[in-house]
């Protein structure tokens, strides 16, 4: 859905009134989207964030030919306001989020994101800070683990899985993914194993979201990104599961709502929407895109444009 992201952002990045637009890629990853932005919008300056230092190193090499048009910053994306402040950039014309884990993170077995390979249970996107997945599994109270598996993994068998985890961790703490995958397989009833792919998938997603505080960071980051947009600026967000998409949907819906009390003959400006939604609902990848890249299948794209200055 890369081309669709570029098309959504294009009017803001090709506006003759803004000869040197600034676009922020909040999820640099391996730099594919950033490179496409730099190539498609030759007058734009790019500011790109990632919390993963390895991603910054690799995409730094990839984007080197663009010289000082690209500024790469090690940051969590809810730090966007401080990053822009430090760089002396008051407002930007475009923001892109391509959420979730990168294929590099999934493919590097020792990061522990993939349930298909045995690896240390880490799952931190920024390995220089915070608690890894093994520590979460070994130390959280059972009730908290159940909540996480239900809320972030939408796992219906959360109680059953957590009972098995607690029994096992008392014998020996968890360190590697294979033991957890096997335990989940053994804990689930036959019927639950027949649907929804690998039975460990939902637990792994839940742990990853918890370890990286993904939803609470996103909840702060999307409104902050909207605040950073100049009038006419545009934001595009690619989500990969319903919890992320729901958060984005809520922020865009709140920003594009008219909040005037009913019955006002003329709606004062402070009640008028400050966003215009650019997508009808969430846009999905085409069948060809999914055939080309299986990991794109759950993608949901939403876009919005800032249409009013005043904060509410
Ligand atoms: C799906 S990948 C992005 C891929 C990228 N669009 C490309 O073309 O290569 C998501 C990236 O966002 C980063 N990321 C995830 N959550 C983040 C956060 N809260 N703050 C900063 N970076 C984050 C991950 O480390 C990962 O590298």
Q: Could you state, in chain order, the average pLDDT of each consecutive group of 10 residues for the chain (312 residues)?
A: 96 94 98 98 98 96 97 98 98 96 86 88 93 97 98 94 97 95 91 77 95 96 98 97 95 93 85 94 93 89 93 52
Q: Ligand 1 atom 12: the closest Cα is on which residue?
A: 27
Q: Please choose from 6, 50, 54, 97 the residue to mutate so as to test ligand 1's pocket, defined by most ligand atoms within 8 A of CB.
A: 50
Looking at residue 150, its pLDDT comes to 96
Looking at residue 312, its pLDDT comes to 47
Distance CA 125, CA 28 (A): 12
Looking at residue 311, its pLDDT comes to 56
Distance CA 236, CA 5 (A): 6
- In terms of C-beta density within 10 A (0-12 exposed, 13-18 middle, 19 or more buried), how is residue 175 classed? middle
Q: Ligand 1 atom 27: the closest Cα is on which residue?
A: 29
Work out the widest C-alpha separation in the chain, in whole angstroms.
70
Instruction: Tell me which residues have their CB closer than 6 angstroms to ligand 1.
Output: 27, 29-33, 49-52, 55, 76-77, 98, 100, 102, 125, 217
Looking at residue 196, its pLDDT comes to 67
Question: Tokens representing 122?
Answer: 């880490």
pTM of the model: 0.94
Looking at residue 303, its pLDDT comes to 98
**Ramachandran angles phi, psi of 233, nearest 5°:** -70, 155
Q: Report CA 129 to chain centroid distance, whole Å.
A: 19
What spacing in Å lies between the alpha carbon of 152 and ligand 1's midpoint?
18
Looking at residue 197, its pLDDT comes to 79
Looking at residue 7, its pLDDT comes to 98
Q: Return the closest-CA partner of residue 223 out of 97, 88, 34, 70.
A: 97
Distance CA 248, CA 278 (A): 13
Please give the order of strands across the beta sheet that includes 45-50: 70-74, 45-50, 22-25, 92-98, 229-239, 300-306, 275-277
Q: Ligand 1 atom 1: the closest Cα is on which residue?
A: 102
Beta bridge partners of 24: 47, 95
Q: Report CA 175 to chain centroid distance, whole Å.
A: 26
């Amino acid at each position: 859905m890369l081309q669709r992201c570029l098309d959504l952002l294009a009017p803001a990045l090709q506006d003759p009134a803004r000869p040197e637009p600034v676009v922020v890629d909040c999820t640099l990853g391996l730099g594919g989207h950033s490179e496409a932005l730099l190539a498609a919008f030759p007058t734009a300056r790019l500011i790109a964030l990632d919390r993963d230092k390895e991603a910054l190193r690799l995409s730094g090499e990839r984007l080197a030919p663009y010289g000082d048009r690209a500024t790469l910053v090690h940051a969590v994306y809810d730090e966007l306001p401080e990053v822009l402040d430090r760089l002396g950039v008051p407002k930007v014309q475009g923001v892109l989020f391509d959420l979730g884990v990168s294929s590099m993170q999934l493919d590097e077995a020792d990061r522990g994101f993939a349930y298909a390979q045995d690896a240390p249970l880490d799952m931190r996107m920024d390995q220089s800070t915070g608690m890894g997945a093994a520590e979460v599994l070994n130390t959280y109270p059972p009730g908290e683990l159940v909540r996480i598996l239900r809320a972030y993994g939408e796992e219906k068998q959360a109680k059953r899985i957590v009972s098995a985890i607690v029994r096992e961790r008392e014998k020996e703490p968890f360190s590697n993914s294979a033991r957890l995958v096997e335990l989940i397989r053994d804990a689930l009833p036959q019927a639950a194993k027949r649907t929804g792919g690998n039975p460990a998938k939902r637990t792994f997603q839940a742990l990853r979201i918890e370890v990286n505080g993904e939803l609470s960071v996103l909840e702060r980051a999307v409104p902050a990104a909207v605040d950073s947009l100049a009038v006419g600026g545009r934001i595009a967000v690619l989500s990969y599961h319903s919890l992320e998409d729901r958060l984005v949907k809520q922020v865009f819906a709140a920003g594009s709502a008219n909040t005037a009390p009913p019955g006002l003959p003329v709606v004062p400006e402070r009640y008028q929407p400050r966003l215009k939604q650019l997508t009808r609902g969430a846009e999905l990848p085409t069948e060809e895109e999914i055939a080309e890249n299986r990991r794109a299948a759950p993608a949901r794209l939403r876009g919005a444009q800032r249409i009013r200055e005043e904060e509410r």
